[in-house]
Homo-oligomer: A and B are copies of this chain.
Amino acid sequence: MIAEKMKGYVANSSVIRAMFEEGKKMAAIYGADQVYDFSLGNPNVPAPAAVKDAVYSILENEASVTVHGYMSNSGYEEVRLAVASSLNERFGTSFGEQNILMTVGAAGGLNVVCKTLLNPGDEVLAFAPFFGEYRSYVSNYDGVLKVVAPDTETFQPNLKLFETMIGQRTKAVIVNSPNNPSGVIYSEATIEKMAEILRRKEAEFGISIYLISDEPYRELAYDGAQVPYLTRYYHNTIVGYSFSKSLSLPGERIGYLVLPDELDDASDIQAAANVANRILGYVNAPSLFQKVIARCLNEKVDLDYYDRNRRALCDGLEKLGFSFIRPEGAFYLFMKSPEEDEVKFCEAARKYHILMVPGSSFSCPGYVRIAYCVSYETIINAMPGFEKLAQEYALKQ
């Protein structure tokens, strides 16, 4: 009796989430310290102390009916203003309150954008490898997600191919940098070239093409790497942000959209996004955590912890002969599978209680994603298992 459309979603339900459930079951059987669950981007680093301080201070000093009440569907004015000011300071932008829409995480924000923009049949381009949920967010509104095949040399977007795939029905492009699952940061040269192509194609077809920048990993960049702020490169850019990773608050569902005045039809889009946020049933981003993040805009989680994990994992796997591009950001490592069918490789790893996600979930088969937002011990203790895997596949050591 469920909707026809849902049958497909259920059948293709998230491999990542299925592994998360399996990881919990395995942990119950073998003990949590005997399972090396690299499947989910669920941060192991606690929220900064400032988060708890903010909660206490807000609950002590502000009225319950304000803290927990309804506000404008777009969010508290003072919160939106604080977010705008912080962006302006960091990136030299000039956003105001009207450009910020507080959302139920980035996933909520992306649904709002898709509902706001997409007519049935509209095309949205995404660069493989990409977060598989984009498929659902687009098809929720009967859009068509088109995959730009990966450049597996660099995992930068394949712009040559991209250019040939833009057409009359192209409504949007989703990018995600630092990238899930590759850990690659899209370079400024890449962004400039992408913007140039988009401007040219907008003129050629007489259409607007919106660049949707999904940025939950913006603050997770290592070795001082810079992550370009895309509204500065292309006028039709919409940013989706989340505090899930920067403040380790994924369960709290708090993020925002940036809807610049430079967008074509900016005021229509801002108004429609506000309505979409309401009628999709979010109504508003959770109220207490709106106020919390406004007080924590200069905070971030202990990046050194992830960086130590990254080094340990890269060094360990490299020594064992596995192939991958060293991640520059996020907390994922995207490793080449030693056999073509990476699903089989993931199954082989499960023998050693190692859980990884097949690259096909990111439209990039032949690779596996290892989420290293785990405890340092998990990485160290998983290494003997990885070593056995390397032996099994007769990798050079």
Select A253's contact among B17, B45, B136, B286, beta carbons within 8 Å.
Answer: B286
Q: Is A252 an interface residue (CB 8 A)?
A: yes
Q: Across the interface, which residues of B come within 8 angstroms of A141, CB to CB?
A: 3
A46 adjacent to B65 (CB under 8 Å)? yes
Q: Across the interface, which residues of B come within 8 angstroms of A72, CB to CB?
A: 20-21
Chain B proximity mask over A39-64: 1 for CB below 8 Å, otherwise 0: 01011111100011001100100011
Q: Which residue of B lies closest to A45 (CB)?
A: B65
Chain B proximity mask over A310-331: 1 for CB below 8 Å, otherwise 0: 0000000000000000000000
Q: Across the interface, which residues of B come within 8 angstroms of A394, CB to CB?
A: none
20 pairs, A vs B, C-beta closer than 8 Å:
A2-B265, A2-B269, A3-B115, A3-B141, A6-B115, A7-B272, A9-B279, A46-B65, A56-B56, A56-B59, A67-B251, A68-B251, A69-B248, A71-B251, A104-B253, A252-B286, A252-B287, A253-B284, A253-B286, A286-B286
B288 adjacent to A251 (CB under 8 Å)? yes
| Complex Cα–Cα for A286 and B110 (A) | 18
Q: Across the interface, which residues of B come within 8 angstroms of A278, CB to CB?
A: 14, 17, 133
A110 adjacent to B281 (CB under 8 Å)? yes
Q: How many A residues touch B, CB cutoff 8 Å? A: 82
A248 adjacent to B2 (CB under 8 Å)? no
Known: A108-B281, A133-B279. 16 other contacts (CB 8 A): A1-B117, A3-B116, A9-B276, A10-B268, A14-B278, A44-B65, A68-B249, A69-B250, A107-B282, A111-B281, A250-B283, A253-B253, A253-B287, A280-B280, A281-B282, A286-B286
Q: Is A118 an interface residue (CB 8 A)?
A: yes
Q: Which residue of B lies closest to A271 (CB)?
A: B10
| Complex Cα–Cα for A275 and B8 (A) | 11
Q: Is A4 an interface residue (CB 8 A)?
A: yes
Q: Across the interface, which residues of B come within 8 angstroms of A65, CB to CB?
A: 42-46, 248
Q: Across the interface, which residues of B come within 8 angstroms of A43, CB to CB?
A: 65, 69
**CB-CB contacts below 8 Å: A178-205 with B:** none
| Complex Cα–Cα for A281 and B110 (A) | 8
| Complex Cα–Cα for A1 and B268 (A) | 8
Q: Across the interface, which residues of B come within 8 angstroms of A265, CB to CB?
A: 1-2
B275 adjacent to A137 (CB under 8 Å)? no
